[in-house]
Amino acid sequence: MEQGSAREGARPAYAPGATPRTQEAEGRVPHQARGEASARGEHTHSEPPAPRVVRRHSVRGQILESLRAALVDGELIPGQVYSAPVLGGRFGVSATPVREAMQQLALEGAVEVVPNRGFRVTERGPRELAELAEVRALIEVPVMLRLARTVPVARWGVLRPLADATVAAAAVGDRASYAESDRAFHRAVLALSGNEQLVAIADELHRRSQWPLVSGPATRRADLLADAAEHTALLDALMAQDLTVVQALVREHFAGADG
C-alpha cells in the first residue's frame, strides 16, 4: 500500500554527475518541442506524470466508507478503543489509510483520539439525538414547506426510486444500506432548493443522527420499515402540496431513531 515516487524507476536523461546546459535543462524548451515530446508519449518538465497518491486517497475513501458503515451497524461499539493496525488487519490494508480515515471521523465527531492507543468511538445519549432532531427540523421543515408550494409535481416524481430504495434496504434489515439511502433521499429533496450549503450542513447533521446510542437497543427491521414508509408518505404529501401533512411527517421523521 505504500506509494513510491512518481518518477521511480525512470532512466536518467544523462549520465550521473553530468550537468548538460541544454534548453530543456534551463527551462527554455520550445513550445513545439514540448508538443512533439508529448505526442511521442514522453514526459517533459512541464508535464510530470500523474502522482500515485491518487490510489492511496482512493483506498482511504473506501476505508472511510467502510468505517462509517461499521459505526451505523454497531460493529464499532461506543466507548471502545480501536487501533489503526488492528483495523488495518481487518480490512487487509496498512495502518496508514485507516489512521487517516479515523482522523476524518474524529473531525466529524464520530470518534476521539486516544494518544498511544487509537481511537475511541464517541458515546452518545438520547439528549444528543433529540438535539440533533431539533436542529434538523429547524433547518429542513421551512425548506420543505417552501418546496411543497413551488416544486412541480413532475420533479417530485423523479425522487420516487430513492424513496423505494429506502424501503428495499429496510426490508432486508441492512442498516448501513438504509442509512445511505435515507441520506440520499433527503439530499435529493433539499437539493431542489438550489442551496448547496444547506444540503451539506443538513447531510452532516443527518449522518450524526444515525450513529448508535451508547446504551440504545439495536434497530429492528420493523423500525426501519416504518421509517422508510414515512419517506413514501412524505413524497406523496409534497406532490399533493399538503403543507400540514408535510410538516407533521418531517417532525415525526426526525424524532425517530433512524430518520
Task: State the average pLDDT over residues 188-197.
Answer: 97
C-alpha grid cell, residue 210: 444515525
Band (pLDDT 50/70/90 cuts) for residue 74 is confident
Beta bridge partners of 114: 118
CA atoms of 233 and 169, how far apart (whole Å) = 17
Q: pTM to 2 decimals?
A: 0.71
221 pLDDT above the threshold of 90: no
Confidence of residue 121 (pLDDT cuts 50, 70, 90): very high
Residue 241 confidence (pLDDT) above 90: yes
Dihedral pair phi/psi, residue 83, rounded to 5°: -95, 150
Q: Residue 7: is its pLDDT beyond 70?
A: no
Q: Which residues contact 23 (CB under 8 A, 6 or more apart)?
A: 29, 30, 33
In angstroms, rounded to a whole number, what is the distance separating the alpha carbons of residues 84 and 251? 39
pLDDT of residue 253: 84
Percent above pLDDT 70 for the chain: 74
Cα distance between residue 55 and residue 42, in whole Å: 22
Helix (H, G, I), strand (E, B) or coil at 74: coil
Could you tell me the three cell numbers for 173? 434489515
Confidence of residue 183 (pLDDT cuts 50, 70, 90): very high
- Give the sign of the dihedral formed by CA 49, CA 53, CA 59, CA 61: negative
Other beta carbons less than 10 A from residue 125's beta carbon: 12
- What per-residue confidence (pLDDT) applies to 58? 84
State the alpha helices, DSSP H only, in the chain: 31-39, 53-73, 84-91, 95-108, 126-150, 153-157, 160-171, 175-191, 196-209, 221-240, 243-255
> Residue 139 above 60 pLDDT?
yes
